[in-house]
Structures are given as C-alpha cells and as structure tokens.
Structure 1
Amino acid sequence: MAVLPPAARPFALLARFDRPIGWWLLFWPGAWAIALSGRATERWDMLLWFLLGSIAMRGAGCVYNDIIDRDLDRQVARTARRPLASGAVSVKAAWVWLVILSLIGLVVLLQLNLTAAIVALGSLALVAAYPFMKRITWWPQAWLGMVFSWAAPVAWAQMAVGDWATLALLYAGSIAWVIGYDTIYACQDIEDDAMVGVRSSARAMGGRVRGGVTLLYGVAIVCWAAAVWRVFPTPLALAALLPTALHLLWQVATLTPDDGANTLARFRSNRDAGLLLFLGLLVVGQAA
C-alpha cells in the first residue's frame, strides 16, 4: 500500500488489495475444476484469467459488502476503520470504484465460452444477496460457500468436461470447506456480532466450533474424494488428497476459537490448503 499515491490507498483498502487471502480463496475452486478436468497444462491461460477475475471480483464484492454494511461496520471494532465506515471514501466514490472493478471482471467474462459466461452471470444474485444473509440466518457462511465456490462450475463449463456429477461433488466439498474456514474467521467477531445482532455460524456453534469445523472439513474431504474417484477410480488417486486432509486436520487440532491471532492464522492457512488440493487434483487430472 505504501507505494500507492495517498489518494488511491483508501480505494485499495476498500477492495482489500492489502489482504490477498480473499482472492486466493475465491480463485482455488476454479483452479481445482481446471486441474481435475485434465486440461490444466493445455489451458494454463485460463488459470491466469481466473486469477485476474478473482482479484477484481473479490474486490468488487468487498466494496459492495462495505456499502451495504457501512453502518454495521461502524459498530464493530475490527471493521470500524474500513474506508467507508470511517468516512475516508464516500458512498458515491465507492459505487464508481465498484463499477471499475466490475468492468475488469467483464474483460475476464469475455474470455469464456457462452455456457461458462452464463454460469458466471448466475452468481450475481448470490453475490447481491450475501450481505443481507447475516441479518436473516445463523448460517451466512453457507451462502458465502456458494458464492466463493462458484468459480468451480464456471471453470468446469469452460473446460467443457460434461460430467456434472463430478462437478457437483467438487462444488459441495468446496462449500463445506468455505463454511469451515469462514466459521473460524467469524470467531474473531463473536462478541461484537452479538452486540449488534449479526448472526454467524460461529455464534450458532457456540462452544462446539472445533467439532463443527472438523465435521465440515470431513464432509469436504469425502466430497472431494468422491469426485476424484469418478475421474480416476483407484486408491492411489485418493492419496493425492492426503496432504490436504492432513493440513485441514492440523487446522482443527491446533484451533483455539477464543484466540484472535490463532483463528486468523488458521483462516489464512487455507490459501495453502487450496494449493495442496490444486496440486493433488492436477496430478489426478493429468493421470486420468
């Protein structure tokens, strides 16, 4: 952020460009689908386009979320200094910035085939509704799971694989993974969320967060294993998931839900979990 002109810094912060973990988490499900399709080496360019799209659209999503939540953000210690909540960026300027980021996303959209583009546009309703979920359900993380996993069906359609049952398993596993890691993240805000009436899976689980996240990660591994089996039905292929499974096990084994530094570190480590799964699926996809 220091290299940017002072006037640009609040906009970079608004799009969370200082926190790349978000775009990695948005990128990985699409990368997994490309890897499992067996066409990753052939269509490596799509990995780059999906990464650019993840950076732009995660930024756009953050801007939109902060526009909707600016009043709530002022009441929560962790979010009170966000550019909109603090007044560093006006609402009008935020909308302009949102349009600019969306136009970058449009450039990526134009690289896709028609089916993939239609699937991608299908995410807009989910994205638009997400900021309101924390007001009406105890499981906004489930909605986030659908949003943050949407790159998987887009990439699958782009690769023209056609085996939608395998995609469904990959997507379901990703949703469970997202709910798990975002529950860990939400542990940081339990007290503030309770004061302002914001709901979350972390609050819903209460003292059972570690067990709940373990269950969610277990569901993710089972779904991913089933997807791998459909592509390459051999026990050796399942071994490609072992590093990911061990990493997720480490997360829950060392998780301390009431320690903010611990939960933030475990949350951020999911960038590495995503990479491990990508490498495993890349091996499976190329071997199948």
Structure 2
Amino acid sequence: MTATHLPDSQHQGFVALLPARMRPYALLARFDRPIGWWLLYWPCAWALALGGGAVSHWPLFLWLLLGAIAMRGAGCVYNDVVDRDLDAKVARTASRPIASGAVSVRNALLWALFLSLVGLFVLLQLPRGAQIVALASLILVAAYPFMKRITWWPQAWLGLVFSWGALVAWIAVGGSEGLALPLLYAGCIAWVIGYDTIYALQDIEDDMAVGVKSSARAMGTHVRGGVALCYATALGAWAGALWVVRPDPLVFVALIPAGVHFVGQVVTLDPANEADALAKFRSNRFAGLLIFAAMLVVGSAP
C-alpha cells in the first residue's frame, strides 16, 4: 500500500464555499463526496426504469434522488458516531468531524435527525407499500456499522442496504411479479460487494492494526479475482432480470458496455495503490449510468 493515505474528508468543491461553521456538518454527511449517494441512488433508478415507470412515474426519479442524498448523509453521520473510536485510529478517517473533535456526538445526532426528516418527507411521497418496504431497511442500516466487527464480509451487509432502493422503487411503480426483482436485487448486492471491496483496499493495513474485518482482507492476494467474480455475478443476475422482463436475446447486448467497463476495472486494478483503488471505486458512478441505460431501454420497450 502506498505510504500516503488519502484523507476521507476534504474541504473541496462547494463545501469550501460554505461558512466555516457549516463545513464540518457538510463533511459529516459526505456532501463533499457525492459518489456515495450516486451508488445508493442507482439501484432505485434501475428499478424505476426496468419496472416500466420511466415515463409514468418520472417524478420518483427526483424524489428518490433527494432521498438518497439525505439518507446517505444520515447513515454516514450514524456510522461515524458508532465508529468514532475506530476512525481516530485509521489514517484515512482520522480527519472525520467526530473523530477529530470538530463536531460533538450530540450535534451529530441532531444533524442526523434533520437529514432523516428530509428522508421522511420523501417517504411520504411514495405509495403505502413502498413506504413499508423503505422503513424495513432501517433495521439493516442500524446494524451495518457493527458488521465489520463480527464478520469478514461487512460488504455483503452493505450490499443489502445499498441495494434496498431497488425494492422500494419497484414496488412504487407497480413492477411485475416474478423473478425480475429478485434477480435485480441480487445483482445489485454482488455489485456493491465488488466495488466496496475495492474501496476497502485503501484501509487494509490500518484495518489489520485495529482488528477491523473486510472482504478485501478476506480475499487477500485473490482480490482481483474476487472482484471479478462479484461483477460477473452481478451481470449474470441483471441479464436474467432483463430476460424476464423481455425474453429476447438482444437484451443481453444492452449490458455489454457495463461489462466492458467492469473488465477494465478489474484488469487495471492495482491493489497496492490507494489512489487507484479510490479511482476504480468512484468509476462505478459511470458504471451505474451504463446499467441504467440498459434497464431503461428494456423497461421502456413496447
């Protein structure tokens, strides 16, 4: 691993324009790092598109985007409250507002409450069935920060959490019954495990020192093959979902651009380079766009 750790929180972008008192709270919610809410949002958008709601339910694209931003922020605050002692021991996360003492636990919890209220406002825009499913995710969210202490695969738990929006969106647009949704959800989980394993490569040395578990540590020298398997599983599951919605061999062509992107990630991944790991992780925002295009084309076909 490279000697210089990339800081987790940075005063960059619009955060640098905020008043000094507001910056720690923006950093706490990771507003300086939009990649997180993009990754949370994409499964929502995919389900809306594949479920046939791209036109009939187009406002949900915007509501769910707002919900992804707010709830990702609230989840980050909660995670940092739980992990404040561990974060202080890890070079990349030691600068986080709570770990560094820039924000008190009390104020952090109040900030999380405000963000959750924004999420509640979004929730009220959804049909009753989707509201119930969305609320059920809170159990998974609450347990996530503890997973790295008890399992080598916290990334799998994160997969359950970050893919949950697909279930919510599918129900919100009245998507068809059958295997399409389970396959879509399974593919999302595998995708999350893959990209978050890459993300975890940044912390392997510190995680070993403080006893934190991760899929990157579990895979060891086989991390490139492990990530490849995750991405292949995701593509296979998504291909199945597309086929269920529209049983035509041409639907598989729609996933080729995303497949090429994933191959590029895996082939060029340098597990010992933090900057490369971060770049590969962030590139999944574009991968999400490619997958969205596939879901939109198939879901909108007559």
Q: Same fold (TM over 0.5)?
A: yes
Q: Is the partner of 2:181 in helix, strand or coil?
A: helix
Cross-structure match for 2:26: 12
Match of 1:260 among 274, 278, 283: 274
CA distance in 1, matches of 2:43, 2:31: 20
Q: How many residues align?
A: 288
CA distance in 1, matches of 2:16, 2:274: 26
More helix by share: 1
CA distance in 1, matches of 2:274, 2:211: 20
Cross-structure match for 1:222: 236
2:206 is aligned with 1:182: no
Comparing 52-61 with 229-238, greater Cα deviation is found at: 229-238
Cross-structure match for 1:158: 172
Return the TM-score normalized by structure 1.
0.99
Residue by residue, what CA displacement relative to the aligned partner does 1:88-119 show, whole Å, maximum 9, x if unpaired? 00000000000000000000000000100000
**Structure 1 residues 11-160: aligned runs within 5 Å:** 11-160=25-174
Superposed displacement of residue 238, structure 1: 1.2
Residue by residue, what CA displacement relative to the aligned partner does 1:133-176 show, whole Å, maximum 9, x if unpaired? 00000000000000000000000010111324210000000000
CA distance in 2, matches of 1:143, 1:182: 11
Q: Is the partner of 2:16 in helix, strand or coil?
A: coil
Aligned-residue identity in percent: 66
Give the AA of the match of 2:274: G
Superposed displacement of residue 41, structure 1: 1.8
CA distance in 2, matches of 1:163, 1:180: 28
Residue by residue, what CA displacement relative to the aligned partner does 1:235-271 show, whole Å, maximum 9, x if unpaired? 1111111111111111001101110011100000000
Give the AA of the match of 2:31: F
Contact 2:52 2:173 survives alignment (8 Å): no
CA distance in 1, matches of 2:180, 2:60: 20
Superposed displacement of residue 279, structure 1: 0.9
Residue by residue, what CA displacement relative to the aligned partner does 1:196-215 show, whole Å, maximum 9, x if unpaired? 00000000000000000000
Q: Is the partner of 2:79 in helix, strand or coil?
A: helix
**Structure 1 residues 199-278: aligned runs within 5 Å:** 199-278=213-292
Comparing 161-170 with 171-180, greater Cα deviation is found at: 161-170
CA distance in 1, matches of 2:176, 2:238: 17
CA distance in 2, matches of 1:161, 1:37: 5
Give the AA of the match of 1:279: A
Give the AA of the match of 1:167: L
Superposed displacement of residue 179, structure 1: 0.1
Return the TM-score normalized by structure 2.
0.95
Give the AA of the match of 2:195: Y
CA distance in 1, matches of 2:39, 2:71: 12
Q: Which segments of 5 or more consecutive residues in structure 2 lack a partner in the other structure?
A: 1-14
Q: Is the partner of 2:77 in helix, strand or coil?
A: helix
Superposed displacement of residue 20, structure 1: 0.1
Residue by residue, what CA displacement relative to the aligned partner does 1:38-67 show, whole Å, maximum 9, x if unpaired? 220221110000100000000000000000
RMSD: 0.6
Q: Is the partner of 1:83 in helix, strand or coil?
A: coil
Residue by residue, what CA displacement relative to the aligned partner does 1:214-248 show, whole Å, maximum 9, x if unpaired? 00100000000000000011111111111111111
